[in-house]
Structures are given as structure tokens and as C-alpha cells.
Structure 1
Amino acid sequence: MPTTAPAALAFADVTTSDSALRRFLHGLPGVDAVGLEARAASLGTRSIKTTAKAYAIDLAISMIDLTTLEGADTPGKVRALAAKAVNPDPTDRTTPTTAAVCVYPDMVATAKAALAGSDVKVASVATAFPAGRAALPVKLADTADAIAAGADEIDMVIDRGAFLAGRYLEVYEQIAAIKAECGDRARLKVIFETGELSTYDNIRRASWLGMMAGADFIKTSTGKVAVNATPANTLLMLEAVRDFRAQTGVQVGVKPAGGIRNTKEAIKFLVLVNETVGEDWLDNHWFRFGASSLLNDLLMQRQKLATGRYSGPDYVTVD
């Protein structure tokens, strides 16, 4: 299996200066927006039935990063979320666990303790989430604190202001520094906030920038803005990780986050994965959903397939 070893050596010649990095990123093929959106829409019409649907539902459940990122988060809320991650449907113990629970750094220790003995990972947003506007030492300290508390994964957000101003080397160096802080202790997800990058060309450039700097995952959004994950921007990022692996041998994961609320939408994203990058990414080590509200609908659809009856939202816990 391809690794997530740093790819910096493969791009050493283009990461020595802002001008060299700009030439490389702006030399990437331009995105045909109409064609991209048409392909995403076309793949979304694929019909998935019966056995394949049951498989897709379980796969989607196993790919969810169950998340709470609110100022009012309490240890009790985090423990309840962890319990749901480990046992999403108490009436059916065959239900898969979710991939991870994602919390702020100060809640990592609580989540870690609650998830002890399970395979569910603890992810933590760091680096001045969600704006990403802080000095690098602050971002590094935020990351170090989360890892020391037990985080298995770090979700960092780039400084979109720096990226949009064309300070690509600054963004690259910050990602590389956070990746170095993570070392082999935690996987790094790099969040672009695609809704603020304005163009598909910028999303492609950000994808390559993040992967070149050592991202283990590239992630669409924080879930804190109006435009989050869409089939088109996720398809574009899937194409980027496919092309990056072809060039470097390094496999990078993808995480669409925000706005994916029901089973039908989740299955469309899984079709995008299967048709664009193939089975190598159809695993929660390489693909995640940042969509906590999605889990309840998946559970209701799973119950319907098993019993023939639609139980309704009153039969699943409220996050």
C-alpha cells in the first residue's frame, strides 16, 4: 500500500522560494468548472440498491468523524458523543463504530478516556481553528497540547488570507511545521475552507500545496461557513490525490466536511470516490465524512433495510 511518508523531497526544487512555488502552482492545469460540475452531477445519479446500499451505509458510518466544536461543549457532552461513536445504535450491536470523535484541544483528554479500549480515534482541531489567523508558535503549541493530551489526528486550518494574497511559501512552511510537530504521533488533516477560496483553480492549488507539505488528509471545510463540502469541490480534491499518488507514490486521504446531511448525499460521495480514485480510498484510513448530523439518517436507513420499517428520528439519539 502507498504510504503517507513526506513528499517534500519530490518537490524540493519548487519549494525553495515563493516565486518557484507560485510558478509550479499556477502551472497546474486550469479547472474546467462546467465539466467538473457536470461530471460530479452525473456520478450523483448512479442508483445504489439493496445489498450494495447496505454495504454503503455501513461504510459511510465507519467513515464519520463525529464532531462537537462549540463554545458550550462540556465533558458530559463529549463523553456522550464518544459513547455514540463506539455504539451508534444500541439496538443493533452489528452497527460499525465511527472513525473518530473530533473535539477542541481542551476536550481531547476527556474524549481519549471515554474511548479507551475502542478503535475510535480522537481528532482535534488546532492551529487557531477556524480562522487559522495566529502566529506559528501559537499554532505549534496548540498542536503539541492536543497531541500530549492523546490526539491521534490533528485537523489544522490554513491561513486563507495568506493563501489568497499569494504567500504560498508561508502557508507551505506552516503546514510542514505542523506536520513535523505531529511526527509519527498523529496524522495531519489540512483544512482549506474551500468556500472561501473563491475558485476551483485555487482549490486545486491548495490541494497540491497541502500534499506537498506533508498532509495525510486534505479536507474541504471547517463547517463554520456558508459553503462547505460539495460534490464538485470534493471531486476536484479526489482528482488531486489521484494525480499526486501517480506522481509521487504517496497516498493522501480526503475529507469532505459540512453540509452532508443524509444517506442519499453520502452515497453520492462514495460513488465519487469509487469512480475517481477507486477502492484504495474506500476505507476510513483514506476517506472521512465531517458530518455529525449525517449519522442519525444513516442509522434510520440502516434500520429500515433491516426491518422494513422507517423508525423515525425519535429512535436515535440527539447529538
Structure 2
Amino acid sequence: MTTLAPAKTQLPQVTHARNPGMALDLDWVASVQANTSAIERRAASLGGRRSVKKDYQAAWLCKAVSLIDLTTLSGDDTWGRVERLCAKARQPVSPWVLEKLGMTGLTVGAVCVYHDMVETAVRALEGTSIPVAAVSTGFPAGLSPFHLRIAEIGESVRAGAKEIDIVISRRHVLTQNWQALYDEMREMREACGDAHVKAILATGELGTLRNVARASLVCMMAGADFIKTSTGKEPVNATLPVSLVMIRAIRDYQDRTGIKVGYKPAGGIAKAKDALLYLSLLKDELGHPWLQPDLFRFGASSLLGDIERQLEHHLTGHYSAANRHAMG
């Protein structure tokens, strides 16, 4: 297989080369294993070993805000809701809170919407560096005809999406058809052009952590700029054990190729304390370069509201009502 050519255009926050992909290495894929009990022990130990308090916690929570893909993916989405979400993306935390923290100018990492809302989001974010991400390729199941999934990517890119969150065909992983997964992912990557592509693995439907590890590696070989846990629509979404597996796959890929690939946990991350656990895991395993929007995102919406409440509590000693922090 030929190596994918790297795109020339980068997102505003990107400071490293995009993942150009590589030829499918089935020997490497077959060698990947996952020690489930060890992975689960490592993940379970994280909360007791990593804790930040007071000003340090506030700083980490502000960092988490900058890494959020602020998302609305509901069947009852309206243009007005998306416009309000984009206003929240521009000003995610109350100005008085940010002023007291010395964090003025803070925004989220991106706004993520269905294709039909891309143009609305692009207009609402005009004048900012906040990119619009579109879920695509028959999201969330990924079972529409393949040519329509490819066409959907093109439509979203033309509408102004700078990031495309695609869903893989889970059956390729469950049947161990790595060539089919690679070919599918490569064609989707090419259809994205200059837009960055996040490959959603839907890890809750892949059966085993070994499948998660192998699927992560194949998608990166095919040129994924990010690998992402979930659509948020599965019964089980992002978890710390799954994150550890995917993060270590990213580390192995960089060790082998020198290329940095991003990571996005999505679904079920609703509390500030959970965000801190994911950030500490990421820092432990991959280091500081991944604590930036070009290499890490949270797929979330309600998470931002809880972070706001924690920041206000840090400054006032009191928790505000959750309804004071609506997303849209």
C-alpha cells in the first residue's frame, strides 16, 4: 500500500506534522496484545495516586476547558441551539471568574455538530480560531452505503468543517479483517483533505481491549489524526482502561514512526474530577505535548457546566446551581 501524502494546511493550533499514515503492517498488528487485569489495575489506581488541590486544581480545570469539543448531537438540535452553543464556546466560563483566575481569552477546543448544523456553527464562530467538527459517515452506527459516507465527508468539508469525526465499521474489527478497516480508513482520510480526521472506534462494541489496541493501530497506520473512543451513543463509552490501551497504542506508533497522533475520549465524562483523572493519565503516559488542543480533546457538553461550578466554588467557597451554567 502507498503512504498517504501529508496535507499542507493545518488547524490554527497545530504545531506538528499531520499523520501521513503508513503501509499496513499485519505482523505488527498481530503482535499487539492487552493484559486486561493489569490494565484495569493501573486504571483503578489512578485516582488514589493523582490528586491536585486549590490553585493547581483550578489551573488544571482551565486547561480541561481548552480541550473540550463542545458538542450537541441530538435529534432536536435547532439553529438557535447551535448558535447558543457557539456563544458558550467563545465564552465558556463567566468573565469575572476568568478575570480573578488570570485566564482571560479562554475558549474551548472546538464545536462538534451534525452536518446540517456546520454552516450555522461556522458563521457563529466567525472571527475566532475555534474550529467546527462534524460527525460523519453514517454517525453513529456507520452502516450507510460506503459511497454515501464518503460523500458526507465531502459535504461537511465544503460547508466549512475543519475536523471530521468518522465512525469505523465495527464488523471489520470483530471479524479481524484489518485490511478492510485500513482501506476504509485510508479512503475516509483522503476524502477529508485538509480537514483533520478523528477515527471513532466505538470501543464499547469491540468486545476486547486487544481489539481496541489493534483497531487503534490500524486506524493510525491509515492516517487518522486522532483516535476517539466512542460516539457517545453506545451503552459503554469512554473508560480509563480503554483510554490506557489507546494512549499506549499512540505511544507505540510515535516510537515506531516519529508521528504524534491525538486522542479523544468521548461519552460519559461529565464531572470535573473525571476530567482530571484523564488528564493525569495522559500526562503520565504521553507527557506535556499531549496536553494541548492539537493532540487531546474531551468529547463533552455537560462537563463544562461542572467545571464552571468547581471554579466558582474555588473562588467563593459556594456551589452555584447547575441551571446557571446551561450549554445552549
What's the TM-score, normalizing by structure 1? Answer: 0.93
Match of 2:36 among 30, 33, 37: 33
* Sequence identity percentage: 44
User: Secondary structure, in 3 states, of the residue corresponding to 2:112?
Assistant: strand
Amino acid at match of 2:19: A
Question: How much does 1:2 deviate?
Answer: 4.9
Amino acid at match of 2:61: I
Contact 1:58 1:95 in 2 (8 A): no
Partner of 2:52: 48
Partner of 2:288: 279
Matched, 1:158 2:168: yes
Amino acid at match of 1:73: D
User: Secondary structure, in 3 states, of the residue corresponding to 2:300?
Assistant: coil
Matched, 1:67 2:84: no
Q: Distance in 2 between matches of 1:161 and 1:174?
A: 12
Q: Distance in 1 between matches of 2:175 and 2:244?
A: 25
User: Secondary structure, in 3 states, of the residue corresponding to 1:189?
Assistant: strand
Q: Distance in 2 between matches of 1:271 and 1:50?
A: 16
Aligned alpha-carbon RMSD (Å): 1.4
Partner of 2:249: 240
Q: Distance in 2 between matches of 1:251 and 1:169?
A: 23
Q: Distance in 1 between matches of 2:36 and 2:47?
A: 17
User: Secondary structure, in 3 states, of the residue corresponding to 1:6?
Assistant: coil
Partner of 1:86: 90
Contact 2:174 2:207 in 1 (8 A): no
Deviating more after overlay: 244-253 vs 303-312:
303-312
Query: What residue ranges of structure 1 are gaps of 5+ in the alignment?
Result: 15-20
Q: Distance in 2 between matches of 1:25 and 1:245?
A: 15
Question: How much does 1:89 deviate?
Answer: 2.6
Contact 2:43 2:241 in 1 (8 A): yes
Contact 2:226 2:262 in 1 (8 A): yes
Partner of 2:141: 131
Question: How much does 1:318 deviate?
Answer: 4.5
Amino acid at match of 1:48: V
Query: What residue ranges of structure 2 are gaps of 5+ in the alignment?
Result: 1-14, 99-103
Deviating more after overlay: 47-56 vs 86-95:
86-95
Matched, 1:114 2:124: yes
* CA shift digits 1:158-185 (9 cap, x unpaired): 01022212222111111111111112x2
What's the TM-score, normalizing by structure 2? Answer: 0.90
Amino acid at match of 1:50: K
Amino acid at match of 1:226: P
Deviating more after overlay: 158-167 vs 268-277:
158-167
Mapping 1:1-319, distance limit 5 Å = 2-8=16-22, 11=23, 14=25, 21=26, 23-28=27-32, 30-45=33-48, 46-92=50-96, 94=104, 96-183=106-193, 185-319=194-328
User: Secondary structure, in 3 states, of the residue corresponding to 1:254?
Assistant: strand
Q: Distance in 2 between matches of 1:165 and 1:241?
A: 23
User: Secondary structure, in 3 states, of the residue corresponding to 1:290?
Assistant: strand
Partner of 1:17: none
User: Secondary structure, in 3 states, of the residue corresponding to 1:44?
Assistant: helix
* CA shift digits 1:252-305 (9 cap, x unpaired): 000000011101111000000010111010111101101111010001101111
Amino acid at match of 1:34: S
Question: How much does 1:130 deviate?
Answer: 0.5
Amino acid at match of 1:89: V
How many corresponding residue pairs?
307
* CA shift digits 1:223-265 (9 cap, x unpaired): 0011000011011111111111011001000000001110111
Contact 1:66 1:85 in 2 (8 A): yes
Q: Distance in 2 between matches of 1:172 and 1:306?
A: 49
Contact 1:2 1:249 in 2 (8 A): no
Amino acid at match of 2:190: A
Q: Distance in 2 between matches of 1:119 and 1:307?
A: 31
Q: Distance in 1 between matches of 2:307 and 2:315?
A: 12
Q: Distance in 1 between matches of 2:107 and 2:150?
A: 31
| Residues 109 and 273 of structure 1: CA distance in aligned 2, closer, same or farther (over 3 Å) | same
User: Secondary structure, in 3 states, of the residue corresponding to 1:245?
Assistant: helix
Deviating more after overlay: 253-262 vs 167-176:
167-176
Q: Distance in 1 between matches of 2:217 and 2:57?
A: 33
